[in-house]
Amino acid sequence: MSDTDSAAPSSKPEAIAERIRAAILEHRLAPGAKLTEAQLCEVFGVKRGPIRQALAQLATDHLVDLEPNRGAFVASPSLQEVHEVFEMRRIVELAVVEKICNGHGLRRLKSIGSMIGRERKAFETRDFPAWIRLSGEFHTELASLTGNTVLCDCLNGLVARSTLISALYESLGRSPCSFEDHEGILAALDAGDAKAAAALMSRHLQSVELKMLERPARGAADLHEVFGALNGAPKASAKTKSAPD
């Protein structure tokens, strides 16, 4: 039996990758932050093998860059990648809207409405990590209603990359409009108005993309601080920008 097979669940590569992924998607780790293997070994109490496997998984998902002779870094998407990711999201999410309006999951939209309510509450209570997560989950949960697992896997990856992008490219406006946009999209879907829902979704995604401006990544990060606060992570400052979608 290998060390990985006998390891506690929390020290397996998959669990470590998930914790690093959460820190990235909740903006506790910034684009460009160096993920030092030695420090990660100390943080997670494992040898280098599981850390390297976890980082390899995250690199496959485009959330981590592995650079020869330099190590691992949280990915820093280029402007070209921003355009490509949102172009793909428009293609995929307009297909989601069409399928839902054709009866795929139309009866299960109530659960999406409850999610938007939690998204609004998270913003109002300044629970920004939850707000960021729920903002993305609105889109992935809509996709899940179609029952198409390949489509869902594709969108899950695109939403994760969008969330990473939002940590590097911040919004010009600071209005918390994302859940209001989501409410409009949901109302059109609930009415079975595919044309209106598609127009609202397209405008929503285009707005998110156009409002992103380039800014330098913060780079350095104290990994002990990032992962030591997982169970009682401090909430983001009130200066946090509009949630990524």
- Write out the residue range of the structural domain in which residue 114 sits: 79-214
DSSP H or E segment with residue 154: helix 149-168
Strand, helix or coil for residue 40: helix
Q: Does one domain contain both 109 and 35?
A: no
Domain count, the chain: 2
The Cα angle at residue 213 between residues 87 and 88, in degrees rounded to 5: 10
Distance CA 234, CA 28 (A): 10
Q: Does one domain contain both 207 and 133?
A: yes
Q: Please state the pTM of the whole predicted model.
A: 0.73
Q: Does one domain contain both 83 and 171?
A: yes
* Average pLDDT along the chain, 245 residues, taken 10 residues at a time: 53 93 85 93 94 96 93 90 92 95 83 92 86 90 95 94 78 56 95 94 88 52 62 42 56
Q: Does one domain contain both 67 and 115?
A: no
pLDDT digits (tens, 9 = 90+) for 149-189: 999 999 999 998 888 887 776 543 344 458 899 999 999 99
Residue 118: what pLDDT? 94
Number of C-beta neighbours around residue 1 at 10 A: 5
Q: Does one domain contain both 147 and 203?
A: yes
- CA dihedral sign, ordered 239, 93, 197, 104: negative
Distance CA 241, CA 173 (A): 8
Strand, helix or coil for residue 110: helix
CATH of the domain at 107: 1.20.120.530
Phi, psi of 127 (to 5 degrees): -90, 75
Distance CA 142, CA 9 (A): 30
Residue 238: what pLDDT? 39
